[in-house]
Amino acid sequence: MSEGPDEGPELTGSLVPLFVITEGRALPPDHEYDHTTLVTAQNAPAVAARTLSPEARKVTDLVADGFLSLAEVSAHTRLPLGIVRILVAQLDNDGLLLVRKPIPRAERVDRELLSAVLDGLRNQFGA
């Protein structure tokens, strides 16, 4: 196993317990993230970015160009969703990520408005 000059040992291998990746942290109760929660990187100071773990750096690099859901981040990093949630909570607290929670189902659709539009289309085009 040869490593390049800038590469350290891979910490996501099967020999490293997952609690090492999260530094023993648990998900804070005020950071309940759904698998569809969207995250993107914020413009962060270079000092904060240099002190990140390899996994946290991988997450910030992945979402640097736009929003991804937590499920997508988990799939791309090959980390369990629970671990990604903890890393995102840590990065959110540090101000390195912008987190956008999904819109609750009750706020998505106004049934009366949709019925009125459908009735208008039926009256206009006859169906």
Examine residue 54 and state whether it is found in any structural domain, yes or no: yes
Tokens, residue 107: 């706020």
Identify the pLDDT of residue 39: 93
pLDDT at 12 over 60: no
Q: Cα(76)–Cα(58) distance, rounded to whole angstroms?
A: 9
pLDDT-derived band of residue 11, with 50, 70 and 90 as boundaries? very low
Q: Cα(76)–Cα(64) distance, rounded to whole angstroms?
A: 14
Identify the pLDDT of residue 1: 46
Using alpha carbons, select from 9, 123, 29, 27 the residue that is nearest to residue 84. Answer: 27
Examine residue 95 and state whether it is found in any structural domain, yes or no: yes
Examine residue 6 and state whether it is found in any structural domain, yes or no: no
CATH number (domain holding residue 75) = 1.10.10.10
Which own/partner contact pairs does 41-44 have at CB distance under 8 Å and 24+ positions apart? 41/96, 41/97, 41/98, 42/95, 42/96, 42/97, 42/98, 44/94, 44/95, 44/96
Domain with 46, as residue range(s), is: 18-125
Residue 40, phi then psi, degrees to nearest 5: -145, 160
Sign of CA dihedral 81, 57, 55, 1: positive
Overall number of domains in the chain: 1
pLDDT in tens, 77-117: 888 888 888 888 988 888 889 999 887 776 667 788 889 99
